[in-house]
Amino acid sequence: MANRKLARGVALVGAGMSKFGAFKGKSSRDLFVEAYAEMLSSIDKPFDPKLIEALYVGNYSSDLFENQGHLAPIVASWTGLNPLPAVRVEDACASAGAALYQGILGIASGMYDIVMVGGVEKMTDLATEKVTDTLATAADAEFEIPAGFTFPGFYAAMATSYMAAYGATPETFMKVSIKNHYNGSMNEKAQFGAKITTLMEARKASTAKKGLPIPEWKDELEFLHDEKANPTIAWPLRLYDCSPISDGAAVVLLVSEELAKNFSDCPIYIAGIGQASDGALHDRKEINSIPSARLAGEKAYKMAGIGPKDIDFAEVHDCFTIAEVIATEDLGFYDRGKGWKAAEDGETNRESSQPINLSGGLKSKGHPVGASGVGQVVEVWKQLRGQAGERQINRKMKYGLTHNVGGTGQTCVVHIFERRD
């Protein structure tokens, strides 16, 4: 692998996001404007939006979700930024990560000094089965979908392969869900924003209200084992193993490294980037790892000149709980087959030395697919700058990593961010 460097440095000087959730009456452009406003208010020094030279927007399928194609110029218009070049980037659930990658290259190439990158998805206008069908278009429509695969189905298949190879059980995945819901309970932008125990109490209350017998669960695991409370979606994955259907947007502002201090007291620098592609799940040599994630991670580490041990925390693409376990192995935090034990033993929780998904991850925060990759970056920005509020990790942190997967790993984009001081 060639040791590639950016031709010039790039820094993050602003980041913001809308709340993630289900928002009736808000379309992609409305959500994007919300995220844009928060991004502007996050810039430390006065900033004139007229300085923005290009816009890259990650979006998976506004066409099918909202009957709206050609989204980038519309978003540019609603943020008042026409006539700048505006490009939509689509790599399924990795759309925003891929947009960020292109935005970074836009500055590194010398073409632009100041670039805005965002991601947005409006999913909740469609009925659930239509959302499922729309997401399925990210898979191979000729050789995967006719077999009967769905997205939960793909990750469930990865889970069966992983369980058979390494001994994990469905309870392993439940523990990931409990951890991410706990983290998300401290995130005011999260769709759920509630611990599993809180959701249990809510369910008891709603059952009582209906005059039905109130279920008794002794703990979260018993609740998650209850087929009524946590139905199977695609065995062995259940409802609480799946990220929700979400609306949301996230936006960041990138500038060339030499300009960073003009706009920010504490810029966050791009230390390494990596992206890779792959064929359908059945086209790979193995099913319980994502080769494109391994490769994207290796590229990003190499560019940054660091290794997995140097990463202080990571936001990984936990579209399904099994995906987080696999991600922690693909990124080199744990050896192959060891990630599930680490998850079970609490090595990925917020008290650990290398917490995973402090934001709550896609599981709790929500997964507006085309926005998620930049949503992850917003968390890294906040944590590295000490602005994550209640969920802030109170130790000196230097490197944060984001891992954004499209489909089952047909795309993966990894970014490493660095605080220098």
| 204 vs 284 by CB, closer to another protein | 284
Q: Which of 87, 103, 139, 131 is nearest to 11 (CA)?
A: 103
Answer yes or no whether residue 142 interacts with another protein by CB under 8 A: yes
**266-295 residues near another protein, rule: CB under 8 A:** 280-284, 287-288
SS3 (DSSP) at 331: coil
For another protein, give the closer residue by CB, 86 or 131.
131
Contact between 322 and another protein per CB under 8 A: no
**Count of alpha carbons within 13 angstroms of residue 35, beta-carbon side:** 36
* The only residue of 12, 33, 94, 158 in contact with another protein, by rule CB under 8 A: 158
* Active-site residue, 242 included: no
CB of residue 278 to another protein, shortest distance in Å:
11
Which member of 93, 242, 319, 412 is catalytic? 93
- Are the C-beta atoms of residues 388 and 217 closer than 8 Å to each other? no
Stretch that binds another protein, among 74-82, 142-150, 181-189, 311-319 (CB under 8 A): 142-150
Residues near another protein (CB under 8 A), total = 39
Given 84, 86, 96, 157, the residue binding another protein (CB under 8 A): 157
Choice between 74 and 234, CB closer to another protein: 234
How far apart, in whole angstroms, are the C-alpha atoms of residue 307 and residue 256?
25
Please name the helix (run of DSSP H) or strand (run of DSSP E) that holds residue 24, with its range, or none. none
> Omega before 146 cis (within 30°)?
no
CB of 219 to another protein, least distance (A): 23
> Among the options 181, 317, 367, 403, which is catalytic?
367
* Site map 212..241 versus another protein, x via CB under 8 A: -------------------xxxxxxx----
Strands of the sheet with 268-277, listed across from one edge = 86-89, 54-58, 114-122, 247-256, 10-17, 268-277, 411-419, 399-406, 313-315
- Residue 391 near residue 77, CB atoms below 8 Å: no
Name the segment binding another protein (CB under 8 A); options: 30-38, 124-132, 244-252, 389-397: 124-132
By CB under 8 A, is residue 10 in contact with another protein?
no
Question: Known catalytic residue: 93?
Answer: yes
Q: Are 385 and 398 in contact (CB under 8 A)?
A: no
Among 44, 113, 133, 226, binds another protein (CB under 8 A): 133
SS (H, E, C) 91-110: ECECHHHHHHHHHHHHHHCC
| Closest approach of another protein to the CB of residue 163, in Å | 8
Are 385 and 377 in contact, with CB atoms under 8 Å apart? Answer: no
Q: Which stretch binds another protein (CB under 8 A): 44-52, 61-69, 71-79, 126-134?
A: 126-134
Piece of 137-145, 332-340, 390-398, 409-417 that binds another protein (CB under 8 A): 137-145
Contact predicate 185/199, CB 8 Å? no
Radius of gyration of the chain (CA): 20
Smallest gap from residue 154 Cβ to another protein (A): 8
Q: In angstroms, what is the minimal distance from the CB of 318 to another protein?
A: 18
129 binds another protein (CB under 8 A): yes
Q: How far is the CB of 62 from another protein (least distance, A)?
A: 20
**Please, which residues have CB within 8 angstroms of residue 146's CB and are 6 or more apart in sequence?**
none
Question: Shortest CA distance to 20 belongs to which of 383, 312, 379?
Answer: 379
Q: Site for another protein (CB under 8 A): which residue of 34, 66, 144, 347?
A: 144
Q: Where are the alpha helices (DSSP H) in 7-92?
A: 28-42, 62-66, 71-78
Is residue 10 within 8 Å of residue 257, measured between CB atoms? yes
Q: Which residues are catalytic?
A: 93, 367
Q: Which residues bind another protein (CB under 8 A)?
A: 129-130, 132-133, 136, 140, 142-150, 152-154, 156-161, 164, 231-237, 280-284, 287-288
